[in-house]
Structure 1
Amino acid sequence: MPADDSEDPNAERQYHIEVGPEDVASSVLLPGNPERVGKITGFWDESEEKGHHREYRTLTGRYDEVPISVTSTGIGGPSAAIAVEELARVGADTFIRVGSCGAIQEGMAVGDLVITTGAVRQEGTSDEYVREDYPASADYEVVCALVAAAERLGYDYHTGITMSADSFYAGQGRPGFEGFEAAGSDDLVEDLREANVKNIEMEAGAILTIANVYGLRAGAICSVYANRITGEFRTEGEHRASETASLAVKLLARMDEVKAEAGAERWHAGLSLD
């Protein structure tokens, strides 16, 4: 078999996402839906498609003169893990999931943003990497950048713990085909609510865990499409999540500049972003 067709994970051009080291910036936004890629790059100064294979569509460009990439991951932890693995292999070191979610606390309106500080690992992908009691925590620089971006843009947001599931229906307490109910589904949302979990989605747990294992920066921001408590549902707010994540990449670049100027290893509140 020719080398270019190999599944060798160390090959320069990656097997699933079909990009190489010169194709992506160090910071990559990770929406699930390939159709969201164009909506994200609409906020950028410029962009160019670098790869499109299966669910993985990658564009690279600039946002306010800062290099930035976006790669769609498809739905769920397994495909998101592949994206992080292969993007890291070609030089990316910062990842921000840009998605949608269901809110499970009152006072979280459809269209609001949820910035994940950590995730309940109900998905199974991260279990393939590390023991089940290892935390799926967001990098605090990424969290700070997302919060600062949302504040600057004037968007309503919430911060807190996300639950990442492996299924949209049974795993999130919804009825399956012909009304099937998974064991424990009656109490799932209420139990999470009482534990102050803010939202449910399907990728953050895997992305955060893998990034931490590899010493990379990662975070997540989702727009609320549904509130599971009030029953409200609308596909609203993805443009806010997209713009906030893009601005966060710019702020992270500034954080890195400030750290270098101050000789600091990590950004902290005593270092200005101005």
Structure 2
Amino acid sequence: MARNSEDPNADVQYHLEVGPEDVAETALLPGNPERLEKIVAFWDDHEIRGHHREYRTATGSYEGTPISVTSTGIGSPSAAIAVEELARVGVDTFVRVGSCGAIQPGMAVGDLVITTGAVRQEGTSDEYVRADYPATADQEVVSALVAAAERLGYDYHTGVTMSSDSFYAGQGRPGFGGFEAAGADDLVEELKAANVANIEMEASAILTLANLYGLRAGAVCTVYANRETGEFRTEGESRAAETATLATHLLAKMDAVKREAGADRWHAGLSLE
């Protein structure tokens, strides 16, 4: 058996530099470290608990619900590290908060996309499990995100996300000097025909790892790019942050109702009212 080069059970995690006392049970996962400040702006209070490399972590509360946020940087390799190390210090629910490109008609820049499952077109999750293992979002997290978007009055869509390792060639965009990867011309049309809703770079790895470890995960992204029209604007970034924050509070309420009802899973017969 191979020996570990770092102790995976150490209290303070190697990359994130956080311990069990630094995080809540639910963590929001933006990619951009600068997005952290936009997320905590919706909270009642917060404190920075860690900052190392691309990983910034803050913990606070919203409407009495403890909540954390950790930036993951760009792509699935660094996102997987965040999930691994946060899980080791007690996080059991993960919500990716990001941006994406939409590929279906009627999806406007500024709309939200709530992921129900993901196409694993990234290599990180392949390191964990066979390629035909599904990357599915937790039903409770999806329900909480939908409920939050409804309460906030934001336009949203639910559907399958494609996660890529590449912003350029892997998403059908030209590379430097006009380079085009094999199949780039047909990629978006094939995904569109398969009813894939959007493209981003982290969701499938986060969902796969959470499922493997028996944890909850979901994703909500703001549409920045419309691949149908070529429109690109960084609009509505705060909508995903606010929706994920409210969803965390709703998940806590759902968990409390489950405990009171003696139910293992949230279902349509239960109510938050």
Is 2:165 the partner of 1:166?
Answer: yes
Residue 140 of structure 1 pairs with residue 139 of structure 2: yes
* Secondary structure in 2 matching 1:22: helix
After TM superposition, give the deviation of residue 185 of structure 1 in Å. 0.4
- Tell me what 2:67 maps to: 68
Conserved 8 A contact 1:18-1:52: yes
Give the aligned partner of residue 3 of structure 1.
none
Determine the C-alpha separation between the residues in 2 that align with 1:200 and 1:207: 15
Give the drift of 1:9: 1.5
CA contact (8 A) 1:106 1:230 kept: no
Instruction: Work out the CA distance in 2 between the residues paired with 1:233 and 1:13.
Output: 40
Give the structure 1 partner of residue 128 of structure 2.
129
> Pairwise CA RMSD of aligned residues?
0.6
Give the conservation status (yes or no) of the 8 Å contact 1:66–1:253: yes
Q: TM-score of the superposition, structure 2-length normalised?
A: 0.98
Q: Measure, in 1, the Cα distance between the counterparts of 2:16 and 2:235.
A: 28
SS of the residue corresponding to residue 270 of structure 2 reads coil
- Cα deviation, 1:191-250, whole Å, max 9, x if unaligned, reads 000000000000000000000000000000000001001111100111000000000000
The alignment partner of 1:230 has SS state of: coil
Q: Identify unmatched segments of 5+ residues in structure 1.
A: 1-5
Question: Residue 195 in 1 paired to residue 194 in 2?
Answer: yes
1:19 match: 18
SS in 2 for 1:242: helix
How do 1:248-263 and structure 2 match up within 5 A? 248-263=247-262
DSSP-derived class of the 1:142 partner:
helix
SS at match of 2:74: coil
**In structure 2, what is the Cα distance between the partners aligned to 1:260 and 1:65?**
18
> What residue is the counterpart of 1:208 in the other structure?
207
Amino acid across the alignment from 1:185: A
Mapped to 2, the partners of 1:12 and 1:155 lie a distance apart of 39
Distance of 2:166 and 2:230 partners within structure 1: 19
Whole-angstrom distance in 2 between the partners of 1:44 and 1:202? 26
Q: Which blocks of at least 5 consecutive residues in structure 2 are unaligned?
A: none
> How far did residue 21 of structure 1 move?
0.4
Corresponding residue number in structure 2 for 1:219: 218
The count of residues paired between Structure 1 and Structure 2 equals 269
Counting aligned pairs with the same residue, the percent is: 81
Amino acid at match of 1:229: E
* Structure 1 counterpart of 2:176: 177
Partner of 1:237: 236
What does residue 117 of structure 1 align with? 116
